[in-house]
Amino acid sequence: MIIMINRIKLFLMIGLSMLYTPYLESRYGLREMFGILSKNKRQLRCDKDSIRRYVHVWIGIGGILKTQHCWNRTLLLYTFLKSARYNAVIYVGIRKDAIGKTSIVGHSWVAIDGRVFDDREDVADDHYITFHYP
């Protein structure tokens, strides 16, 4: 019963964060926003696969709003992985093959202990990393 309550709580917290992070994005710069997101005082007791699963459910729901899929997914994953005390780092990059073209294609992803989480393992090979936190 306690495990079920924890999972429901995690699911709802991710949903609320999906609403809260756009406010943080509009009010603060990237470093300040990530500082706020990573200083969550609550320590979650959950595994990274549950976090991934629930983030994907909420991103699917949010897909109706036509938001930036990878950016929202990355923000949510980073926030909750840090709360669960994983050594998460967020990366933002520009596709190497888009340099010199009329539009720039960006992407973001999360790594845990140096290994890409919830994305292709070689994602960094295709991108110039323009930002990472921490």
pLDDT score of 60? 85
Per-residue pLDDT of the chain (134 residues; tens, 9 = 90+): 667 778 888 999 999 988 888 888 889 988 888 888 777 666 778 899 999 999 999 988 876 555 567 888 999 999 999 989 999 999 999 888 866 777 778 899 999 999 999 999 999 999 999 999 88
Our count of domains for the chain comes to 1
DSSP string, the chain: -HHHHHHHHHHHHHHHHHHHHHHHHHHS-HHHHHHHHHT--PPP---HHHHHHHHHHHHHHHGGGT--HHHHHHHHHHHHHHHTT--EEEEEEEEGGGTTSSS--EEEEEEETTEEESS-TTGGGGEEEEEEE-
**Token pair in block for residue 80:** 């909750």
pLDDT value at residue 61: 81
Query: pLDDT at position 118, please?
Result: 94
Q: Which domain holds residue 40?
A: 2-133
